[in-house]
Amino acid sequence: MDAGKAGALARDLNLHMSASSSRLFAWLAPVLIAVGVAIILSPVRAMALVHESIVVDAATGRVLESHNADAETYPASLTKLMTLYLTFAALAHGKLKLDQRLPVSVHAAAQSPTKLGLRPGETITVRSAILGIVTRSANDAAVVLGEALGGNETNFAQMMNAEAQRLGMKRTRFENASGLPNPEQKTTARDMATLARALIRTFPQYYHFFSVREFDFHGQIIPGHDHLLGNYPGCDGMKTGFIRASGYNLVSSAVRDGHRVVGVVLGGKTYARRDREMRHLLNVAFAEELHGAVVPVTLASTIEPSSTPVEAEHRAPERREVVHPALKAKSVREAAASRWNREVVARASRGYSIRIGGAFRTLRHARWAMHSAIRTAPRELHGARFKLVHHEQRGRRGYILQVIDLSEWRARQVCRKLKRRRFDCEVREPLSARSLSASQDG
């Protein structure tokens, strides 16, 4: 075979193989791409849709409300609660001091935002690192603390996991000090509530850090990410978190009348929806925790805190009684009686109440009715005071749901809206008004 024929044969063979390879690649390419994407994204997609929440009594750990609380998801920056827990432990045992300056490594400075913008070779005090975490959720500050306590971030992650196991966080694993994305770093709402309670119980002397809403760092004001601070009555900490794989996370602690509760919301679609759910969760918790007593409900879960109550907008101008000299009371006693009657009527104008539904068999049913009422008449129930009362009839126990201390207009307006949604609702006049009416009729 001469060189020309050999070359032509080689070219034909190469063309045939190239065509076959192209057809094979064209067939395999979509499959390979789909498999590769599935392998890469499967852990993210598997947990990105997880939505969970829990609220517990901070003192006893009793669960007041929960949803999907043991489903695993990514903690995001809630990881920093464990970083702070170990930092507070080191402070309490004298291994660190608040004014101690810690070196910033190349690894710490290279962390992704959000961060303080620390540079390799500079130093930062322990206090500033803590404040950077609780306000900006600074990843570089978290790594600085982790390296100071563990030597490097890998060793510190082992310390974090050992402490998590000791605290009973059974479904949590930490891989870094900051919460930046890692497919092996997982937690649950229940475990985060456990960690938050441990922080409050073990280190009360450092809990005030979580209440800081902004701090001055090198002449720059660093604002916080926690929108509930200052906007929800009694809320005084703790921590926000976000990565795309987890959604918007939040741990909050609030106290009213000496009762502290801890709430956790994981997997919020937006920070605003996450915050609204946390407000709603805390409202429910206080309603259950203080059932049988008067429970103020801010309703921040359904309307903005700055909204003006509808009652104030619709309040009629106060009528002033003109007294002519010729119409003076015949006696001091008669004048006093008249004045007492006016005072009773004035007090009665805000003493109306409503009863929603009948006797609910369980607390969950009563709470569901309260949620439904809030969503049905959010403006009219802004600032309302709910009351859950134990009820027993024919040996069966239940709960009565009331809204108290309403004006007559407000009470009737709420019932009107609830009845449109086929809720039983009964307006009850103040006892003093009924007594006064009976005495006048008699």
DSSP per residue, 95-161: S--TT-EEEPPHHHHTPPSSS----TT-EEEHHHHHHHHHHT--HHHHHHHHHHHHSSHHHHHHHHH
**330 counts as catalytic:** no
**211 counts as catalytic:** no
Both tokens of residue 49? 């849709």
Element at 220 (helix H, strand E): strand 220-223
Q: From the candidates 53, 77, 253, 301, which is the catalytic residue?
A: 77
Are 81 and 238 within 8 A, CB to CB? yes
Rg (CA), the chain: 31
Q: Among candidates 170, 171, 180, 173, which has minimal Cα distance to 159?
A: 173
HSE (CB half, 13 Å, CA atoms) of 178?
Answer: 27
Both tokens of residue 363? 């607390």
Specify the pairing of strand 385-393 against strand 123-125: unpaired
Lateral strand order in the sheet of 63-67: 63-67, 52-57, 259-268, 247-256, 235-243
Are 78 and 249 within 8 A, CB to CB? yes
Q: Alpha-carbon distance 136 to 320, whole Å? A: 55
Q: Among candidates 338, 333, 336, 328, which has minimal Cα distance to 440?
A: 338
Q: From the candidates 105, 137, 178, 301, which is the catalytic residue?
A: 137
- The burial of 248, by beta-carbon neighbours within 10 Å (0-12 exposed, 13-18 middle, 19 or more buried), is given as buried
CB atoms within 10 A of CB 105: 18
Q: Among candidates 435, 431, 434, 415, which has minimal Cα distance to 423?
A: 415
**18 counts as catalytic:** no
Both tokens of residue 265? 């919301």
Cis peptide before 270 (omega within 30 of 0): no
Q: Alpha-carbon distance 209 to 205, whole Å? A: 9
Q: From the candidates 80, 115, 186, 417, which is the catalytic residue?
A: 80
Catalytic residues: 77, 80, 137
